[in-house]
Every structure is written in structure tokens, then in C-alpha cells.
Amino acid sequence: MSRMKIILHCSLLLTSFELRLHGRLAENLRQHRASNKAPLRSPEDPEFAQAQNETRRVAVSLWVRSRSGFKHESARSFPA
């Protein structure tokens, strides 16, 4: 029984630590967004559009791989 109590206690400590870390990260993100005065990037910006296309390509690739069970490396180059 003592071993179970130790495991439970450690688990609770880790969960508490993760929640505090998540809270700090969320607060840092809020502060960064509040202090960042740069305008939002528009979809017409070529660099933004390229990053958005890459994100779509990866998302589609992952979706296709998850649906088909396809594990081959060529799935990475699936066009969006």
C-alpha cells in the first residue's frame, strides 16, 4: 500500500507541475501578444502564404496517412 501512495503522490505532483507550467506558458503567450505591436500578417504576404500552404500540406498528409494506414515516406510529399 505504501508503494501505491508514493506513486499516487508523484503522479499528483507531476500533474500539478504540468498545470502550473501550462499556466505560465499561457500567461507568457498573452503578455507576448499584448506587447507585440506588429500588425498581423496578411494572406497576400508571400512568406505567410508559403507557411500556410506548408501547414495545409502537412495536415492533409497526416490525415491521409491516418485514414489509409499508409506508412511510406512518400506520404510526406502529398500535395495539398
End-to-end CA distance of the chain: 54
Cell numbers that stand for 34 in this block: 499584448
Mean pLDDT of 16-23: 78
Task: Report percent pLDDT > 70 for the chain.
Answer: 72
Q: pLDDT tens digits, residue range 30-66?
A: 777 777 665 566 667 788 778 888 888 888 877 777 7
Cell numbers that stand for 30 in this block: 498573452
Q: What is the pTM for the complete model shown?
A: 0.34
CA distance 72 to 78: 11
Amino acid at 9: H
Element (H, E) at 34: helix 2-35
List the one residue out of 46, 53, 49 whose CA is nearest residue 61.
53
